[in-house]
Amino acid sequence: MKTEKISELTTNRLSVYLRCLNELSAAGVETISSQALAEQFNLNSAQIRKDLAYFGEFGVRGVGYYVRELRDHIRQILGLTTEHRIAVIGAGNLGLALANYQGFNVNSFRIVALFDSDPEKAGSVSRTGLPIYDMAQLSDIIRREGIDIVVIAVPAAAAENVFEQVMDAGIKAVLNFAPVLLNARPGVRVRSVDMAISLESLSYFLARPQNAGTSEADDALNGFQYQDAAGTEVGGNQQVTG
């Protein structure tokens, strides 16, 4: 176990491992080797062992990893043992779709509020029963509901202003869907999902005939291919979103 700082690539992979471990556990598998796990993702087994070794010695030589035990360790590492409460800002198509989305860990994340600046929407209730509040109530509701993660699903032009309000309200973690670069204050983490960048990446691929014949998956986990369900990397120490 080391104490260096952990790369985001590593934590992205932990999420992927966790998903797989959940399936293995449900399937009744008791142990798994780094080699067997690696084959699921076209990864190198040393990569997996190294990712895990940052956080402790979870494996048993000659045996592999105990699935349930490792799953629980990763949950702990990722902070998924306590529920995170989420507000979605922007009750447009995207915001409402996200509010209904069941794709993420149901146990660890719960969307509890929607916000919109449109007075027509504020005060009403979404189709799935979530209250829609006015932006002016942001601070109060965040405190009252114990919200610790905010999703920004507003048009690009409004995102920066909304982001400032969110930081003013004390939120430290933001998932941004607006195609803009948000400048985070110290102690605030932004993760962006930028569909334009992803589509343009595909366009670039299609524009190069020499790519034909090569199979490519984004490193994504942003490529989540894991995949990038959540973000696009551009490198650098600032978010640029993809």
Partner DNA sequence: CACTGCTTGTGAACTTACTGACAAGCACTG
Partner DNA sequence: CAGTGCTTGTCAGTAAGTTCACAAGCAGTG
What's the token pair of residue 165? 């309000």
Binding status of residue 24 toward a second copy by CB under 8 A: no
Cα of 155 vs its chain's centroid, Å: 20
Nearer to DNA, 142 or 190 (CB): 190
33, 108, 117, 139: which one binds a second copy (CB under 8 A): 108
Least distance (Å) from DNA to the CB of residue 2? 7
Nearer to DNA, 34 or 126 (CB): 34
Return residues touching DNA (CB under 7 A).
1-2, 7-10, 33-35, 43-47, 49-50, 52-53, 57-65, 219, 234-237
Helices (H), 7-155: 8-26, 34-41, 45-53, 67-77, 93-100, 138-145
Q: Alpha carbon of 33 to those of 18, 39, 44, 73: distances in Å?
A: 14, 10, 12, 16
Nearer to DNA, 19 or 49 (CB): 49
Binding status of residue 169 toward a second copy by CB under 8 A: no
Instruction: Enumerate residues 208-227 that contact a second copy by CB under 8 A.
Output: 208, 211-227
For residues 48, 56, 63, 71, the Cα torsion angle rounded to the nearest 10 degrees is: -70
What's the token pair of residue 139? 């601070």
Query: Pairing between strand 132-134 and 84-89?
Result: unpaired
Binding status of residue 163 toward a second copy by CB under 8 A: no
Instruction: Enumerate residues 60-99 that contact a second copy by CB under 8 A.
Output: 77-80, 84, 86, 93-94, 96-98
49, 104, 110, 169: which one binds a second copy (CB under 8 A): 104
R_g (Cα) of the chain, nearest Å? 20
